Structure 1
Amino acid sequence: MPQKRVMGHAGAFIGPRDPSAEDKFRALEQSGAVMLLTTSKINGSTQSKGGPTSQRRGYHTIRRPPEYLQIAPSARQARCLHLDGEKAASLVRSALPDFDVTESTPSPSSIQVMSTIDRISARINVQLRPRGRSDDASDESTTLETSHSPSGGSKGTDKHSLEQVAGSRESLKDTPFANFEPCRERLTSGVADFMRTHEALSMQLLLSLNNDNKPVLSSPTIHFDDSAYKSGKRQEVVFAKRDKSAEDQSEVVAEEHGIVYITLDPTDQSASIGTLVNGAGLAMNTVDVLSLPPYNVKCANFLDTGGKATSDTVKKSFELILRDSRIKVIFVNIFGGLTDCAMIADGVMLAFKDVDMRGLPVVVRLRGTNEEEGQRKIAESGLALEAFDQFEDAARRVAELANA
C-alpha cells in the first residue's frame, strides 16, 4: 500500500465492516464465477467453463485495518482531497457553530471523534474514544459509537446503536465521556450532518474542554471524494481550498492530461519498475502481483492511462515515469477493451522518438482490441523493445531486468 494513502493505489479504500478480498473471492467462486489471476487466462477459461469470467483483483485489499474504525491522521487517499489545519477548521467552524474550533492540539485527556461511511449498512458512523486508547477493537467499554442515516432522515443517536454499544446515560457516569455528555448528541449529529452535506469520506477531530468548561474541537482532518466535484461540479467551496503546490507535481501534471499517476513510497530505493497500464483494476493487479512470488519485485509507481488514452497520453505517461530516477525498467501492460492496442503501440514509438528514454529497457505486453496490429507495429519498429503475449512471461522478464 502506498504510504500516506487510505487504501489502494487508485483511490479504493476499505470501510467499516467491508468484506475482505478473500471473502469476495470465495463468494464469487461459490456462486460459480470463473476466478482468474491474470487476464491472459480469460479465453481458455471461457472455453473450458462455457460461461462468463471474472478476474481476481484482490491482492491490494487483503490487509484489513487493525481496528473497526481507524482513520490515521496522516493518511491521504489518491483521487481524494485531504484537508487539515485552518482550511479544515474553517469548514468545521461554519458547520458546528456551537463549538469553538481550532487547528491546534489540545490536552492528552481529549476525546477522539472519528466518522466514516459504513458501506454495508449505508450509514454514517461516528465514533468517540479516549485519546491514546489501545487499538483493541473488542474493547467497547471505552468506545462510543452512533449511526446516522446518509439521507438525513434520522438525525442524532439511533436508539438501537446507543443501547447496543453505549448502554444508558447512567453507564456513562464513570467513563471518559462523562464530562462531554451535555454536548455529545449535538456533536455526533453535527459531525454526521457535516459528512452528509459536504460528501466527505472520513473525518477526525479531537474534543476537549477549555478553562471555561466549554467544548473545543481541534486538529481536524477531513477527506473528500473528488468525484463530487469532478463529475458533478458539487462542493466547489470545499475544492477551492485545494493547494496543488503542496502535492506531488508529477501527480498534478498527470491529472491535467487525464492520467492517474501515483508515486509509491519515494523513499524505497528498491522500487525500480515503472508501470504504464490501462485501467485502475489491471494497474493495481500489475503492481501487486509483481510484488508477490515468484517475481518479488517492487514498482515505483501506479499509472492508469485511462480507457480513452491516446498516443500523446502514452507519450506523457513515459515522461512522468522517467521523472523518477529509481526506474530501471518500464513495464507497459495493456489489456485493451476500450483501448486500441495499435494506438498504444503508436504512443510507445512516439515516446522513443521524442523522449529521452535514458537507455532503459521497456517490456511491452499488448492483448485485446486490435492486438495483432499493435504487436506488428512493435515488432517492426526496430526499437529496443521486448514484446510478450502472456503476462507471466512479461512479468518474469521485468523481474529479471529489475534485479540485474
Structure 2
Amino acid sequence: MLSHRVAPRLSRKNISRARKSPLHLASFSTSSSRLSYSDTINNLKIGAHTRVIFQGFTGKQATANAIESIAWGTNIVGGVTPGRDGMHPVLETLPVFPTVKAAMRELKPDATGIYVAAHQAAAAIEEAIEAEIPLIVAVAEHIPVHDMLKIHSMLKSQSKSRLVGANTPGIISALGRCRIGFQPLPCFAPGHVGIVAKSGTLSYEAVASLTRAGLGQSLCIGMGGDVVAGTDFVDALTVFEHDRDTHGILVIGEVGGRAEEEAAAWIADYRRRTANPKPIVALVGGKLAKPGRVMGHAGAWRGLTESSAEAKYQILHAAGAVMVNHPAQFGAVMKVELERGLDALAAKVSEEKFRSEFDNVARATGTQRRGASASQLRAYHTSHRPRPASVPGNHGHRRSLHLPSAPAADLLLKHGFALTRDPPPVQVPHILSVTIDRSTRAPCLLVSDTRGNEDIPQTLSRNDKRIPFDFREGPSETDIAETLAFLRITHPHAAASARRLISALHQLFLTYEGIALDVKIAAPHEPAADADALLAWDPQFTFDDAAYRLCKRHGALHALRDVSPAALHPVELAGEADGIVYVKLGPTDRADPAYASYNIGTLVNGAGLAMNTVDALALPPHAGHAANFLDTGGKATAETVKKSFALLLADERVKVIFVNIFGGLTLGDMIARGILLAFRELGLEDRGIPVVVRIRGTNEAEGQRIVAESGLKVFAFDGFDEAAAKCAELARG
C-alpha cells in the first residue's frame, strides 16, 4: 500500500455518490443560462472542492503525476484508460473507466487532465467535450494545429466545457491545493497573487520569486505556447478581477500573437472603471528573438501585422502594468505594489480604521509593512528599467516547412490558379493570406499592405483586415465580399480572379494543414487587359510540421523542405533529431565588428525561459550577448544535455556556457548528470571553456549537490543575476 494520502476508498457499487460542496456548485454551475464558450470562464476556479480525473490514467507519466498531486492534496477521484475497467494497479483505491462518459456518469468530475501522447490528445479532448466535463487541461506539446482548430470549432458551439492549453504546464491552486499539470510543487506557497503565463518555465520562476518574497500564489493558469490557446490572458484576468483571494496579478507573455495587446486593452479599461484596481505586473519574453524564426513554442513567432515583444512591453506599460525584465524580479516588485495599495487605502480612512484594515489585508497577503514611506515606494516603482535594443520585425515567420515562391507557385497552379509571371512595378501591394486568427481561435482571411516593417504596434496602424471564418464551413460569401471591399476590388474580372485565389488558398490550407499562406496582390484601377485585372506574385507558404512529424501526414509535401546551409544552419538542423531547438544569434559575417561579441552559449529548458535568458543577459549591468537560443525541450535527458553542449561547442565564438534550468518535467539531477557527461565525453576542461550553472525547480537540491561534489570547474549559482554577472565577466575576460 502507498504511504501517502490517497482519495478515500470507493467501491464500484457506491462510486456514483459524488460529494459536492456549496463552493463547487457555485463555481461549476452548468445552468441553461450559459450561451457561449465565454460563459465557461468560471470553470477555471479550481480548489479543494475540485474532483479531478486523468485521461491516460494508468500510463507511467499520469501515475507518477497522480501520486505526487494526491500527496500534495489534489482530489483525484479516478481516471480513464481505453479498454480498462476496474481499479488502478498502483493507486488501488481509484477506479479506472474505459470511456470518459462512463467516468463522468459515475464520478461527476469537475476537471480532467489529458495525459496522452500529442497525436492522441485531440481525440481525448473531443471525448471530454462530448462528456461535458467542465474543465479540460491538455498539457501535450506539438498537437497538430488543425486538430486544435477542429477542437476550438467544437468549443465555440457549446457552453459546458472550458479548455486550458494545449502545450501548457496546466493550472494549479496553491490555496486550494489542487494541481492539474506538472508544475514543480516545492516552489508553490498559498498566497494571494494570481498568475497567467504563456511559458511554463517563466511561470515557475515567477512562482519561486513570489514565494521567496513571502507572498505566495492564489491561482496559476498556464495559457500555453501554442498558436491557438483554450484560455487566454483576458479570460484569466477576468477570473482574477472577481476572485476575492487574488490581490495582485502577474501576466507573462512572449513574442507571437496579439494576446498581450488584448490584455493591455483589458488592463487599461479595468483601471478606468475600478477605484482601487489590483496591481498588475508583467513581463514579455523574446525581445531579442531572431526575426523569421520560431522560438521553441509553436506559437512563438511574429506573424503578419503582429507587434514585436518590445512593442508589446511598451503597450502593457502604457496601459498601467508595472513591467519587469526577468521573473526573479516579480516578488520584490509585487510586494512594493501591494504596499502602495495599502498606502492608498490609508489616505482614505482614519488612522484607527486604517490600522484595522491594514492588519486584515496584511494577514491575508503575508505582507510585512516595512519602514518605507509612500514616496520611497513610488521611487522604487518608477525607477529606470533598462531594456535591450529592439529587433526590427519580420513578417515571414519560418517553421520547419516553409515553401518559398517557386514550389508555392507550383502548388497554386495545381489547384487552378496561375500567378503573374513577372513581379509588377507596384508601389504599395497588399498581402492576401489564409492564416490563423489566434484571438478568435479560427482560420481567417488576412489582408495587409506591406508597409510597416518598423517596430511599432501594427494592429494600431489600421493597414490590415482580419476576417475569421468557421473552420468547418470555410469562408462565406459575406467573408469574401468583405475582403474584396477592403481591397477596393471593383473590376469584375479582378473580383473573379480574387475569388479563385481565395478558393485555391483555402483548399491548400485545409488539404496540407497550413499555418499561413501569403500571396502579394494588386488590382490596377485601369487594367490594360482582363488578364491583368488582378496581379498576384511571390507566394510564401508555411505548413504545420507537427502534422507530419507526429502523424506522418503529407509526406510528399514535407519532402520539399529545403535543409541546405543557405536555408538552415547545419547546427540548427543537427539539434532537431534530439528534440533540441537551436537558433544561432548575432551577425553571421566574421568581418562584422560585433561577430565575436556574441560569445555566451546558453543551454536552457523551456522556450520562454530560453528567450528571457537571452533578453536578460543583454541588460545592464550584464550587457552580455548570447550566441544562441537553445531549448532542450520539456523531456530532456542526460544524453540530450550532452548533445546540447556539443552544439554550443560547435560555435567558435563561445567563450562561456550558461546552463539555466528551472525544472518542471525536466529534472535538476538529470541536468546535473548531463553536465558531468558532457565534461567527461566532450573534454570540456581541456577546452578551457568555463561553465556557469543555475539549477532550480524539480530535484534542484540533488542537482546542485551533484554539481558541487563533482570536483569540476563549474561556477554554480542560485540567483539569475549573480549567474548572469559571472557569465558576462568570463565572456569579457
Q: TM-score, normalised to structure 1's length?
A: 0.77
SS at match of 1:158: helix
Partner in structure 1 of residue 709 of structure 2: 380
Q: What's the CA shift for 1:21?
A: 5.0
Partner in structure 2 of residue 222 of structure 1: 541
Please give the alpha-carbon distance, in whole angstroms, between the structure 2 residues aligned to 1:329 and 1:305.
Answer: 18
Say if 2:289 and 2:611, in contact at 8 Å, map to a contact too: no
Please give the alpha-carbon distance, in whole angstroms, between the structure 1 residues aligned to 2:453 and 2:318.
Answer: 32
Write the letter of the residue equivalent to 2:508.
F
Partner in structure 1 of residue 501 of structure 2: 187
Q: What's the CA shift for 1:263?
A: 0.9
93 and 388 in structure 1: CA distance in 2 versus 1, 3 angstrom threshold: same
Please give the alpha-carbon distance, in whole angstroms, between the structure 2 residues aligned to 1:7 and 1:313.
Answer: 20
Say if 2:432 and 2:446, in contact at 8 Å, map to a contact too: yes
- The counterpart of 2:720, out of the listed 388, 391, 398, is 391
Partner in structure 2 of residue 55 of structure 1: none
**Residue 366 (structure 1) aligned with residue 686 (structure 2):** no
Partner in structure 1 of residue 406 of structure 2: 86
Partner in structure 2 of residue 330 of structure 1: 657
139 and 299 in structure 1: CA distance in 2 versus 1, 3 angstrom threshold: closer
Please give the alpha-carbon distance, in whole angstroms, between the structure 1 residues aligned to 2:515 and 2:329.
Answer: 35
146 and 399 in structure 1: CA distance in 2 versus 1, 3 angstrom threshold: closer
Please give the alpha-carbon distance, in whole angstroms, between the structure 1 residues aligned to 2:718 and 2:563.
Answer: 39
Please give the alpha-carbon distance, in whole angstroms, between the structure 2 residues aligned to 1:63 and 1:151.
Answer: 35
Say if 1:20 and 1:61, in contact at 8 Å, map to a contact too: no
For residues 93-127 of structure 1, what are the alpha-carbon distances to aligned partners after superposition, in whole Å with 9 as ceiling and x for unaligned?
223x0x2147x642213944331322113341232
Please give the alpha-carbon distance, in whole angstroms, between the structure 2 residues aligned to 1:245 and 1:210.
Answer: 41
- The counterpart of 2:554, out of the listed 235, 238, 241, is 235
Higher strand share: 1
Say if 1:84 and 1:220, in contact at 8 Å, map to a contact too: yes
Please give the alpha-carbon distance, in whole angstroms, between the structure 2 residues aligned to 1:308 and 1:222.
Answer: 30
- The counterpart of 1:162, out of the listed 456, 470, 482, is 482
Partner in structure 1 of residue 600 of structure 2: 273
Please give the alpha-carbon distance, in whole angstroms, between the structure 2 residues aligned to 1:186 and 1:207.
Answer: 13
For residues 171-230 of structure 1, what are the alpha-carbon distances to aligned partners after superposition, in whole Å with 9 as ceiling and x for unaligned?
655xxx787233223323432343343322223223478987265643221122322222
Q: TM-score, normalised to structure 2's length?
A: 0.45
**Stretches of structure 1 lacking an aligned partner (at least 5 in a row):** 52-58
Q: What's the CA shift for 1:154?
A: 4.3
Q: What's the CA shift for 1:150?
A: 4.6
Please give the alpha-carbon distance, in whole angstroms, between the structure 2 residues aligned to 1:200 and 1:61.
Answer: 34
Say if 1:156 and 1:186, in contact at 8 Å, map to a contact too: no
Say if 2:387 and 2:619, in contact at 8 Å, map to a contact too: no
**Residue 260 (structure 1) aligned with residue 581 (structure 2):** yes
**Residue 109 (structure 1) aligned with residue 426 (structure 2):** yes
Say if 1:14 and 1:64, in contact at 8 Å, map to a contact too: no
Write the letter of the residue equivalent to 2:432.
M
**Residue 37 (structure 1) aligned with residue 326 (structure 2):** yes
Identity %: 38
Please give the alpha-carbon distance, in whole angstroms, between the structure 1 residues aligned to 2:445 and 2:732.
Answer: 46
325 and 192 in structure 1: CA distance in 2 versus 1, 3 angstrom threshold: same
**Residue 118 (structure 1) aligned with residue 431 (structure 2):** no
Please give the alpha-carbon distance, in whole angstroms, between the structure 2 residues aligned to 1:390 and 1:187.
Answer: 54
Q: What's the CA shift for 1:240?
A: 1.9
Partner in structure 2 of residue 202 of structure 1: 516
Please give the alpha-carbon distance, in whole angstroms, between the structure 1 residues aligned to 2:620 and 2:560.
Answer: 43
Write the letter of the residue equivalent to 2:312.
S
- The counterpart of 2:418, out of the listed 87, 92, 100, is 100
SS at match of 1:127: strand
Please give the alpha-carbon distance, in whole angstroms, between the structure 2 residues aligned to 1:161 and 1:401.
Answer: 61
Question: After alignment, is 118-127 or 362-371 more displaced?
Answer: 118-127
Please give the alpha-carbon distance, in whole angstroms, between the structure 1 residues aligned to 2:712 and 2:486.
Answer: 67
Please give the alpha-carbon distance, in whole angstroms, between the structure 2 residues aligned to 1:384 and 1:7.
Answer: 34
Say if 1:124 and 1:192, in contact at 8 Å, map to a contact too: no
Q: What's the CA shift for 1:303?
A: 0.9
SS at match of 1:82: strand
Partner in structure 2 of residue 313 of structure 1: 640
Partner in structure 1 of residue 614 of structure 2: 287
Write the letter of the residue equivalent to 1:147.
I
Write the letter of the residue equivalent to 1:344.
I
**Stretches of structure 2 lacking an aligned partner (at least 5 in a row):** 1-287, 336-362, 368-385, 589-594
305 and 159 in structure 1: CA distance in 2 versus 1, 3 angstrom threshold: closer
Please give the alpha-carbon distance, in whole angstroms, between the structure 2 residues aligned to 1:238 and 1:344.
Answer: 37
Say if 2:606 and 2:634, in contact at 8 Å, map to a contact too: yes
Q: What's the CA shift for 1:255?
A: 0.8
Question: After alignment, is 312-321 or 206-215 more displaced?
Answer: 206-215
Say if 1:148 and 1:158, in contact at 8 Å, map to a contact too: no
SS at match of 1:298: coil
Write the letter of the residue equivalent to 1:386.
F
The 5 A counterparts of 1:11-30 are: 11=298, 12-15=300-303, 16=305, 20-21=312-313
198 and 64 in structure 1: CA distance in 2 versus 1, 3 angstrom threshold: farther
Q: What's the CA shift for 1:6?
A: 4.8
Q: What's the CA shift for 1:362?
A: 0.7
Indicate the structure whose relative CO is greater, using CA pairs within 8 Å and at least 6 residues apart.
1
163 and 147 in structure 1: CA distance in 2 versus 1, 3 angstrom threshold: closer
Q: What's the CA shift for 1:385?
A: 0.8
Partner in structure 2 of residue 54 of structure 1: none
Q: How many residues are aligned here?
A: 375
Say if 1:157 and 1:188, in contact at 8 Å, map to a contact too: no
Say if 1:311 and 1:346, in contact at 8 Å, map to a contact too: yes
